[in-house]
Amino acid sequence: MSHDYRKNPEAISRLSPEQYRVTQEAETEPPFNNAYWDNEEPGLYVDIVSGEPLFASVNKYDSGTGWPTFTRPVEAENVVELQDSTLGITRTEVRSAHGDSHLGHVFDDGPPEAGGLRYCMNSAALRFIPRDDLERAGYGEYRNVFEQADRGAKR
């Protein structure tokens, strides 16, 4: 299925001030005071501006940082990693490929058994789609991500 994910001016106009600062000005929301840091519901996280699928709850874990954290993207081609030296240290910024939204940063101190990466994202850059709403929201092709995880958990 082909989708037209892109930076959408109408979606940008609907962003809250915090969502705008995070996605368009590369700001960071406060830890432990954001929508998804402790969300344990199964579902898909998409770019709030473009709608492109970014992360799935099956790859989410509690990193103790206060932000939603994942071991890997659900679609690697939907994330772009760039060098970021804005704080005087070199980090790797994560942006959405089609929407060009600032999402957060990726670090190499994640769980070794899951590849060792920690994608530390801003809730303000994401829209959460519960697993049971995937079809209705137009993301039905991602149901298999959760079905595979369910099958793996039953082994």
**Which are the catalytic amino acids?**
120
Q: Is residue 95 within 8 Å of residue 101, measured between CB atoms?
A: yes
Q: Residue 47: left if φ>0, alpha if ψ -120 to 50, beta else—which one?
A: beta
Q: Are strands 118-121 and 126-130 parallel, antiparallel or unpaired?
A: unpaired
Helix (H) or strand (E) holding 22: helix 17-25
Q: Is residue 93 within 8 Å of residue 26, measured between CB atoms?
A: yes
Query: Beta partners for 130?
Result: 43
